[in-house]
Structure 1
Amino acid sequence: MSIMAEFLSLMLMFSVASIGNSLSLNYYEKTCPDAESIVAKTVKDAFSNDKTVPAALLRLHFHDCFIRGCDASVLLNSRGNNKAEKDGPPNVSLHAFYVIDDAKKAVEASCPGVVSCADILAFAARDAVYLTGGPTWDVPKGRKDGRTSKASETIQLPAPTFNISQLKQSFSQRGLSMKDLVALSGGHTLGFSHCSSFRKRLHNFDSTHDVDPTLNPSFAAKLKSICPLKNQPKNAGTTMDPSAATFDSTYYKLIIQGKSLFSSDQALLSNPQTKSLVYEFATSREAFYKAFVKSMIKMGSITGGQEVRKDCRVVN
């Protein structure tokens, strides 16, 4: 790392730490004490009707925080000539925006103009994890909503094809460590992936292999039947792990078995530090939960907004 890159990295970590300090656990204690319980009820109601909601909310929060900080810019609609983040290529499969809309409407009815969409999204992500059997935690509060959202910036999101050095760079630019990388990747225990995110591992992988050699052969054969080279069904894909509706540590066991979907998942075994953490989390769900909570709070403290939106889809 160059001296300049090191300096910029340190500056970013300092700014992340100092911004995070502006958040507090009792931010709404006097102004909107029921905010979190209102959001939790909305998420629970949505989950009872659609089991894909938790994975969607967790992904929304992650994709929000990685662009301009956790400022709810991922919720803004495209307007006029401006194409918003939600319409960027990595985000077109995001969904469950309506859950945040419903939560915002309910919170506004109780205490108008007080709770930011960014905080509501952070609460909803925590609730999503808890509802699917994962840990819970106190979310630091006081984020503001951003006024800028650009589809072109979604190129900054870590891709499912990333190798370990690309992942390390992406996370470190946001003040997140290698342990944060492995812990937050555990969010892949929830949800579904389309073939487009892992197709390259199955067909014409490189000059000597048709299939990625790190894939378990029987698992690769199963994926090839789901994602054929020709005549692939529209929206074809598969769950991230067999227990994709439950937040657990199965994801790490699958990586060790060569049964993870993304190259970026398998890449965690290519570095001694991240490999050690994969094995630790695979054998201790308690260690994973503890690390995940710590990393979610750290990621959620990257802020950068300016206002409290009345409507999560448009700036004031």
Structure 2
Amino acid sequence: MDFIEEIRERAKSFNKTIVYPRSSDSRVIKAARFLKDENLAYPVLIKDKADAAIPKDLDFIDPVSDQKLKQYAQRFYERRKHKGISESEALDIVKEPLFFGASMVATGDADGCVAGSVSTTGDVLRAAIQTIGLKPGSNVVSSIFLMSFDDGRVYTYGDCAVVPYPNEEQLATIAIDSAHTHQKVTGEAPKVAMLSFSTKGSAAHERIELVQNALEIVKSHNLDFAVDGELQFDAAIIPEIAQRKAPNSEVAGQAIVFIYPNLDAGNIAYKITERLAGATATGPIIQGLAKPMMDLSRGCSWEDIVNTACVCALM
């Protein structure tokens, strides 16, 4: 069984309710039908246009007329009134499908939300952060990509889509959240490498110090996973090089979770791994939220939407 098949099978056992805020997108409809037919999740589509066709075989919610609208709007108003919004403005905001879907997740009326096929990452994250909020212990919302290979290997890359230049506290949070995400989705104990262009002090630079400081923050939490840095990528993944560059490391040569120091490195790395090494990239998987809301690429396929929904169910 390959990785995608595995996460689909695991998602099936949870039977989670996943909402989709863009019902007029044919890819979303096709993915929802597949999820329902294969019993991978229970899909609920949120009507996003007055003239949107509603397939009779799928469950839809119209935010404008739904009985929960006022309850969601009041909750949103209480969360955001310090920003100066009125109750009527809160009502108008929550009518928007992204915010309505996020409200369903925030209140427990759905287990997760998958959005972004026709929305920007900024719009999806804004709805998620303002409505669901961050989980305890997180100071930033970030993302990972799961990079899977035909031989069964699965690596986690973070952050590759959200935080351009994290500070040391944010980088530490990204490392912790990425480790937890890897374990939730794959069932595998994470070994985390904090990456840099230096290995264990082989170079000196303020960008290296940022990674070193982030590592110390991670270690201060006394978490139950192995983490080390700063490591170059070859030292992190190749045992022979690890023996030369970091012989005393419990991660070097064995890492499966790779934390990049900035978005330049992470985004470039996952695309190189996908295009030159033939890996399948699943993501971006959003992490750091109190409850799961996933973001899709606007160029995604319906199969991508299915896979992201299954990951959402596992989280």
Q: Note whether the superposition's TM-score is higher than 0.5.
A: no
The TM-score range, normalised by the shorter chain, is: under 0.3
Structure ID, larger Rg: 2
TM-score after normalising by structure 1: 0.27
Q: Which has the larger share of helix? A: 1
TM-score after normalising by structure 2: 0.27
